[in-house]
Amino acid sequence: MKFWKGKIIFALFALVLIILPIFVFGDVDIATKLENPLSATSLFCFLKDILDVFLTIGVIIAVLFIVYAGFMYVTARGDTAKLSTAHKAFLGAVIGTAIIMGVWVIANAIVGTINAIRPGTAEIKLDCP
């Protein structure tokens, strides 16, 4: 019981320290400004930044998988089962790399199509600051 009593007293003391300044300085007008921590100024720039991060990480992982598949080829030493496993790993890494690289092409195609459909309105640009 003594243990809980100490925790309750500490919690009440902390609560008073948090709430007391609100009552004392409650009438003071503090001007705050929320600044944008991201470099993106629009939704499209934000999505482009996310896509850039995923592409960067994806390309690094793809290179590591290709190197691993090459290591599997070297360590197979003519064993057909290990060679087929290495071949499947290499093929999967190449297909994954093609998909990762195709994402940027698809994004540019979508933006180009949207800009072609509505030529008189605001243009979507992927050249963000």
pTM, 2 dp: 0.59
37-75 exposure pattern, b = at least 16 Cβ within 10 A, e = fewer? eeeeeeebbeebeeeeeeeeebeeebeebbeebeebbee
pLDDT confidence of residue 60: 92
* Average pLDDT by stretches of 10, the chain with 129 residues: 71 79 66 74 80 88 93 91 93 92 86 78 67
Amino acid in the structure at residue 18: I
Contact yes or no for 104/51 (Cβ under 8 A): yes
CA torsion sign for 55, 60, 63, 64 is negative
